[in-house]
Amino acid sequence: MATTVVLNQATLTVDSVDFSDQVSTITVTESYEALESTAFGDTARKFVKGLGNHEISATLMIAYGSSEVEEKFNSLAGTTFDVVVTPTTSATPGASNPEYTLTGCYLESVTPVNGGVGELPTMDVVFRGGALTRSTTP
């Protein structure tokens, strides 16, 4: 049976502020450094899991004003905080709505002004580092 997925209502919460209605793309990357464990006699290289090196990236529309995207992300640049992502709008995590939390991630840079005449101004942000957890528990 066919399965249809529409990633149309993903949520993005940054430092406890919901920016879901300002975001167009979200990417959660779960990555671990590959430590070589090849030994004499092996016929192929082997690796084991090293430190996690996770990141969450997103594209947001830049809006200006109190508590808007520009103000919030300007205050977050150079700091660490938590980011939560879910693939659907449901506030309840579950098997069909896994919740990814990047705890203590770092925001290296922001682009508070970005765009040309008439263009929709956007900001690409990358939240790096921190511990990534996946929850399906309501």
Please pick, from the candidates 3, 4, 8, 137, the single residue that binds other proteins as defined by CB under 8 A. 8
Least CB distance to other proteins at residue 14 (A): 16
Phi-psi region of 89 (alpha: psi -120 to 50; beta: other; left: phi over 0): alpha
| # chain residues binding other proteins, by CB under 8 A | 13
Q: Does 11 bind other proteins (CB under 8 A)?
A: no
Binding positions for other proteins, 21-60, rule CB under 8 A: 21-24
- Judged by CB under 8 A, the stretch of 27-35, 47-55, 116-124, 126-134 that binds other proteins is 116-124
Task: Let me know: does 104 contact 129? Beta carbons within 8 Å.
Answer: yes
How far is residue 32 from each of residues 48, 88, 128, measured CA to CA in Å? 9, 26, 13
Binding positions for other proteins, 53-112, rule CB under 8 A: 61, 63
Residue 135: phi, psi to the nearest 5?
A: -125, 135
Binding footprint of other proteins on the chain (CB under 8 A) = 8-9, 21-24, 61, 63, 117-121
